[in-house]
Amino acid sequence: MDQKELKNIQFKKEEYSDYTDSEQSETDETNMSDEENVTQDLLEEISNILKTVIKQSKELRYNGNKSDKIFHVNIAPTITIYDYLYRIQKYLNINNSTLIISLIYIDRICKEKGIKLTNNNIHRILFSSIFTAIKYNEDNLLKTSFYARIAGISEKELLKLENAFLKLIEFKLFVSDEIYQIYSSYLFCKNKLRNN
């Protein structure tokens, strides 16, 4: 996924909204619910965590390994992690629980498989994780081609990434309530501390 691919993705308004852009922004400003506020805070916290992990990987002078080669791109996308998460949330409107589960999946592959996050692999790993979490955690699934457009890659590439991600995580998609609560509490507690 490069910047040119991201810019070339066109969305038809009827695919994601019944409003025009100006009507949508007015509605967003006046009717933003607590759930939407929580989601924005969650996106920011996940973004901050991932940036910190990438920074730590840089300090370790990580050069990659065979397991994550498929996720690596030669030129890092210019879109920030937060903006990428925001884009995903904007078009897919995924549950907060799905975002948290996707972070758990990423943490698993980092800890269990020694995958190091870098600016050159984070976007593909992140979307693969979210795509996997959506399929595991949500009821209403869209066409794979739509997810691929959101990710800024081809449908064929998305399926390859999903398969590679599932192999990395060893198809262990279940997240216990206890583990989920640990991550959820950490993310929301950290956000409350930051906002006070």
pLDDT at 1: 41
* Predicted model pTM: 0.76
pLDDT at 192: 52
Distance CA 94, CA 170 (A): 24
Distance CA 107, CA 110 (A): 5
pLDDT at 69: 85
Note down pLDDT in tens along the chain; length 196 residues. 444 443 433 333 233 333 233 333 333 443 334 445 568 889 999 999 999 999 887 766 555 566 678 898 999 999 999 999 999 999 999 999 999 999 999 999 999 988 889 999 999 999 999 999 999 998 888 999 999 999 999 999 999 999 999 999 999 999 999 999 999 988 877 655 455 4
Find where tokens 């995580």 sit: 169
Query: Is-contact 127 151, C-beta < 8 A?
Result: yes
The percent of the chain in helix, strand and coil, each rounded to the nearest 5, is: 70, 0, 30
100: CB partners within 8 A, 6+ apart: 42, 180, 183, 184, 187
Question: What sign does the CA torsion over 61, 67, 69, 72 have?
Answer: negative
- Helices first, then strands: H and E counts in the chain: 10, 0
pLDDT at 129: 97
Give the pair of three-digit tokens for residue 83: 């903006």
Q: Which domains are seen in the chain, by residue range?
A: 33-195 (1.10.472.10)
pLDDT at 23: 34
Residue 53 has, within 13 A of its CA and on its CB side, a CA count of 21
Say which amino acid occupies 182. Answer: I
pLDDT at 148: 95
pLDDT at 37: 54
